[in-house]
Chain A
Amino acid sequence: MHPLPLSRAPRAVLLALVGLIVLPACSDDGDDRPDAGQPDSGMPADAGSDAGSDAGSDAGTPDAGGSMAWPQDFSCEDTERTELTFNPGQEQELQDAVNALGDCTTIKLGAGTFQFDNAITIRANGITVKGAGKGTQGEGTGGESSTVLDFTHAAANTNGFDVVGKLFTVSDLAVWNAKKDGLRIESSINVNIQRIRTEWAQESQESNGKYGIYPVKSTYVLVEDCEAYNAADAGIYVGQTLHTIVRRNVAKKNVAGIEIENTKYAHVANNIAQDNTTGLVVFDLPGNPIRGTDIYIAHNTITGNNRPNFASVESSSSTVSQVPAGTGTFILASRRVEMEHNTWGNNNTVDIAILSGLAIESDPIQWAAGFFNYPSQDISIHDNTFTGGSGRMVDNGTPDLEFRPLGALVGAVYQYGAAAHGVTGVEHVLWDGIDPAPRNESLANPINICFTRNTLPEGTQASVVDFDLQAVGGHLEAGPSPANMAAAWGETRRYVQDAEPFNCSGFTPALTIR
């Protein structure tokens, strides 16, 4: 068997691989099927097993107030509500007050610019922080109707907001140049994040803060009408959370626009993710005990995510640092994901990549904490619009063998495909073909990817590719010969929409959080 992951492929092999890009078309397409491997090992299809039939009633509907229907773990009904108001110049008073907060306090922040030298650290319940407005992109100073919290001169290693609490609401303000994360909310319940802007002044700086809006390890999280710019990891990141609604947000110029990580029951709708390295992603990380599932993605616009990966630096260890520029969406180690009425286009590498967790961490033991949650399964992509222009310049044509090897490999193979077979670019959906591992060649769509009723650009032929990453990688690691290149290409398979086996109608039971 060929070792995975490709992300750790020897540099020399990959260097050689890129040399192939300039090879002339070769004759021998090769028909050598990889050995079929063992029969399906019975990686259990988990459709529905943990689907949580009660999820929907909790999640509400996106247009009906959503989070209002969630159960509330903490209430201010029997607590006297206090309101405190602070204006620019009263930063120290605000900090002193924040550190002596009683439950159920509302902090109103006046318009203008607050200069903070430390994080705003909140450890109380029922707290509301409300400013005069989030302002607009690029606005580092607050105006008459905006409140900018400027952390440019804050102490090293601090976040903007740092919150642990129940029933926390923050709205109508901007967090500017936080040293680490803009808005970090951890281990909290009933979190409402509304009309917030997180931004760093400089574009594409690896030293920018990692996350803009970052609720993590929480329950019942609403992120709506927010904006996130220039984060060196994710603009909006909901992680390790049960029940979230992420809607009507704008994420631009980040490495990852919107991330849903190790999260159960996520409703992600009406967002705009543009000009990031990768627009909107859903994945589980190895070693995390929460097994993500039940993700609904609708009415989002995920176009032109071609920003060079500025987290992709020497010795980087994060998942997103390995993503090639131009990846509209990737689904990794995820299950029960439904995507409808979204728009993809002009993503240079691919609109949607569906990946096994083994592509980034090949050792299954590393996935033990989440009950071996590395497989992706039950991905339904229907009734979306693909506007075209995608898949034509993998990783913007600047493959990096060491830092973003997956992109380098896909790019090399498609260079060959263009030269030898006239394939003009990566199809709209790229499946890495790993799951279930080991692969059973007799099953064409073993993990139940459905791709139906989507609007495709005129003249589209194939729209889904089974890339068979493991087999392709094996051929290429054997050496950069034309024969190996042809053999690698021969492992990949293309499917047109409405052709079997990807013309399935979803999974059972259906998501209840639509």
Chain B
Amino acid sequence: MYRPFIPGLGLAAVLMTAALASCSGDEDGVTPTPDGGGDPRVDSGLPPEDSGTPDAGYDAGTGDAGADAGTSEDAGTNEDAGTPDAGAAFPPNTLSGFGLFTGTPASGGLRPVAGNIPYELTTPLFSDYSVKSRTLYIPPDAPAGYTANDVLNLPVGTIITKTFAFPADLRVPEENVRAIETRVLVHRPGGWEAFPYFWNEAQTEATLANGGRVVRGVSFIGEDGVERTLDYLVPSKNQCLKCHHLQDAQENQVLLPIGVKARYLNQDHDYGDGPINQLQHLANLGRLTGLPPVDQIPRAPNAFNAEDGTLERRARAYLDINCAHCHNPKGTAGTTSRLFLNVDNTEEFTMGVCKRPGSAGGGVGGEFDIVPGSHSVSILWYRMHTEESGKMMPELGRVLRHDQGSQLIADWIDAMPARACK
């Protein structure tokens, strides 16, 4: 008989939240926020008054911890967090240690516990055609603050998960799904930390894999009916920083989430009672404050729905979510290349138009990042299109070409009024 391995559903997460918050102690807990935007204290410590002993911090909730867990509904109160005797260190060795899900891929799929809110992005980052599911846990007593352009002001204790899976056939994405990894981003008093969890063959548990893993020979049939095979890289903990970073004022690298921005969350999702705007849903739950009326919230279009925006807007959204986490004025790759693909950059040159790269290496398709009207000699397109190691972009997270994305950017460049660069 299958024995649930998460005894304290929901509770463990709360335990940890409280514990994490308590870790902030008398530090100011201010997280460097290169994105700026808003009062940094909004997402600083906020240690619950009654969060138990400071020791609690490293008790992530093992089996024992959950014994008195009760239901997930009442898990949100800090009273429950009181006696952290369990002992597992943070981060938990297994994904289940977070208590964020019930079920497993082997038992019909991961089901987020109450308070761990699924969400989708209007245009997600491409990762080798993997199917991704995302959840957002915000501590009940510390709502996030709305920001118009940057990552939402997420409090300490926030946990973001993203599970990467490959269905055997993308045309029937619900069937024969193999989960590979679940990445967990945790907002701790000292800042965000990222942890990769690697799913076992039996699909019953994901285990912390700080060192990353390479999964050889992952195969699936694409939406076009063509079978693809790749060696899938589960990035190491430190490699998470390669994408999830910005430079703060002291030029230190700071880890930040990427997709949890209003413009990507601004769409409907069905949580069981019919479609509702995801941001409104968070606000209704008391997990998001300061939300303006929905019609005043920026929105990134679905890059592949022509009804959803102009070619320009869709292409820029695609570049924004796929490239701009590095290619922005605060990213080290961005500052080196001077190529800024963030959607709010309106300067043609730093967007790549007729811009020579500083040092592009050999054989990358052209002399300029973008040659208006000519995608085939534009380095930007070439690097997105190629599958050659050392030349393709982004640096991590892609082995295969994204056919749709490549086509979108080709169409966008070709639609620019043609002109020769010099």
| In the complex, chain A residues 207-247 whose Cβ is within 8 Å of any chain B Cβ | 207, 209-210, 217, 232-233, 240
0/1 string, A298-329, CB within 8 A of B gives 1: 00000000000001111111110100000000
Question: Do A318 and B253 touch across chains, with their CB atoms under 8 A apart?
Answer: no
Tell me the bound Cα distance from A138 to B93 in angstroms: 41
A313 to chain B, nearest CB (A): 5
Question: How far in angstroms is the closest Cβ of chain B from A312?
Answer: 8
- Report the nearest A residue to B395, measured CB to CB: A157
Distance in Å from the Cβ of A193 to the closest Cβ of chain B?
A: 19
Bound-state CA distance A473–B60 (Å) is 71
Query: In whole angstroms, what is the CA distance A333 to B387 when docked?
Result: 34
A287 touches B365 (CB 8 A): no
Whether B253 pairs with A187 at a CB distance below 8 angstroms is: yes
Contact of B392 among A157, A311, A361 (CB under 8 A): A157
A285 at the interface (CB under 8 A from B): yes
Question: Cα distance A447–B214 when bound, in Å?
Answer: 54
Interface of A is mostly: loop
Residue B366 at the chain A interface, CB threshold 8 Å: yes
Confirm or deny: B73 has a beta carbon within 8 angstroms of a beta carbon on chain A. Answer: no
Closest to B397 in A: A157
Please pick, from A98, A118, A187, the residue contacting B214 in the complex, using a CB distance under 8 A. A118
B388: A residues at CB distance < 8 A: 207
Residue A57 at the chain B interface, CB threshold 8 Å: no
> Which residues on the A side are within 8 Å of B395 (C-beta)?
157
Cα distance A315–B363 in the bound complex, in angstroms: 5
B362–A319 CB distance below 8 A: no
CB distance from A86 to the nearest CB of B (A): 11
The stretch of B42-50, B158-166, B235-243, B306-314 that contacts the partner chain = B235-243
Contact B364 A316 (CB under 8 A): yes
Find out whether the CB atom of A123 lies under 8 angstroms from the CB atom of B212.
no
Provided the pairs A187-B251, A318-B359 are in contact, do residues A123 and B238 lie with their beta carbons within 8 angstroms?
yes
Asked if A180 is an interface residue, CB under 8 A from chain B, the answer is yes
Residues in A with CB closer than 8 Å to B367 are: 315, 317
For the complex, give the distance between the alpha carbons of A313 and B367 in Å. Answer: 12
Task: Establish whether residues B361 and A369, one from each chain, have CB atoms under 8 Å apart when the complex forms.
Answer: no
Cβ-defined contact, A317 with B332, below 8 A: no
Bound together, the chains give a CA A313 to CA B399 distance in angstroms of: 23
Q: Given A99-B236, A207-B390, A315–B364 Cβ distance below 8 Å?
A: yes
Chain A interface bracket (under 10, 10 to 19, 20 to 34, 35 or more) = 35 or more
- Decide if A494 is an interface residue (CB 8 Å cutoff): no
Inside 8 A of B366's CB, which chain A residues have their CB? 315, 317
Q: Does A76 contact B (CB under 8 A)?
A: no
Residue on B with the closest CB to A95? B211
Give the CA-CA distance A236 to B366 in the complex, in Å.
Answer: 26
Interchain pairs with CB closer than 8 A, number: 133
With the chains together, A459 CA to B57 CA distance in Å?
80
**Shortest beta-carbon distance from B186 to chain A in Å:** 15
In the complex, whether B173 has a CB less than 8 A from a CB of chain A is: no
The residues of A that contact B332 with a CB separation of less than 8 Å are 186-187, 217
Chain A CB within 8 A of B105 CB: no
* Interface membership of B209, Cβ < 8 A: yes
Contact at A285–B238, with CB atoms within 8 Å?
A: no
Query: Is A316 a contact of B362 with CB atoms below 8 Å?
Result: yes
In the complex, which residues 86-101 of chain A have their Cβ closer than 8 Å to any Cβ of chain B? 92-100
Residues of A within 8 A of B419 (CB): none
A277 to B217, CA, bound (A): 39
Q: A118-B236, A121-B239, A287-B338 are in contact. Are A100 and B361 (CB under 8 A)?
A: no
Q: How far apart sit A119 and B234, CA to CA, in the bound complex (Å)?
A: 12
Interchain nearest-CB distance for A185 vs B (Å): 12
How many Å lie between the Cα of A92 and that of B209 in the bound state? 9
Asked if A122 is an interface residue, CB under 8 A from chain B, the answer is yes
Given the known interface contacts A8-B422, A317-B366, A318-B360, the answer about A97 and B241 at a Cβ–Cβ threshold of 8 Å is no
A313: chain B residues within 8 A (beta carbon): 362-363
A317 partner residues in chain B, CB cutoff 8 A = 356-357, 359-361, 364, 366-367, 379
A499 proximal to B (CB < 8 A): no
Decide if B236 touches A121 in the complex (CB within 8 Å): yes
Contacts of B253 in A (CB 8 A): 123, 164, 187
A117 within 8 A of B: yes
> Bound complex: CA of A162 vs CA of B377, how far in Å?
30
A92-B399 in contact (CB<8A): no
Residues of chain B within 8 A of A478, CB atoms compared: none
Set of chain B residues within 8 Å of A206, measured between Cβ atoms:
362-363
B239 interface neighbour in A119, A210, A232, A286, Cβ under 8 Å: A119
- CB–CB A97/B211 < 8 A: yes
- The residue that B361 contacts in the complex, of A123, A157, A311, with Cβ under 8 A, is A311
Cβ A179 vs Cβ B390 within 8 A: yes
Q: Which residue of B is nearest A361, CB measured?
A: B356
Task: Please encode chain A, from 71 to 113, with 1 for each CB lying within 8 Å of some chain B CB and 0 for all others.
Answer: 0000000000000000000001111111110000000000000
Chain B: CB-nearest residue to A118: B212
B305 at the interface (CB under 8 A from A): no
For the complex formed, measure the closest distance between the CB of B217 and the CB atoms of chain A, giving whole angstroms. 13
A156:B236 contact, CB within 8 angstroms: no
The answer to whether B336 has its CB under 8 Å from any CB of chain A is yes
Q: Is B107 an interface residue (CB 8 A)?
A: no
Partner of B365, one of A162, A288, A315: A315
A119 and B209 alpha carbons, distance in the complex (Å):
14
Query: Which of B212, B357, B365, B396 touches A95 (beta carbons < 8 Å)?
Result: B212
A366 on the interface (CB 8 Å rule)?
A: yes
Q: A-facing mask of B344-367, CB < 8 A → 1, else 0? A: 000000000000111111111111
Chain B proximity of A399: nearest CB distance (Å): 19
B98 to chain A, nearest CB (A): 18
Please tell me if B175 contacts chain A, counting CB pairs below 8 Å: no
Residues on B with beta carbons closer than 8 Å to the beta carbon of A286: 356, 358
A155 lies within 8 A of chain B by Cβ:
yes
Known: A121-B238, A233-B361, A317-B361. Is A99-B211 also a contact (CB below 8 A)?
yes
8 A Cβ contacts from A113-127 to B = 117-119, 121-123
Nearest A residue to B379 via CB reads A317
Of the A-B pairs whose beta carbons lie under 8 Å apart in the complex, a sample of 7, sorted by A's number, is A96-B210, A158-B233, A162-B239, A186-B332, A207-B390, A210-B390, A366-B356
Binding site for B on A (CB under 8 A): 8, 92-100, 117-119, 121-123, 154-158, 162, 164, 179-180, 186-187, 206-207, 209-210, 217, 232-233, 240, 285-288, 311-319, 321, 361, 366, 369
Contacts A98-B236, A156-B231, A207-B390 given; 9 further ones with Cβ under 8 A?
A: A93-B211, A96-B209, A99-B210, A118-B212, A154-B214, A156-B399, A232-B361, A233-B362, A319-B359
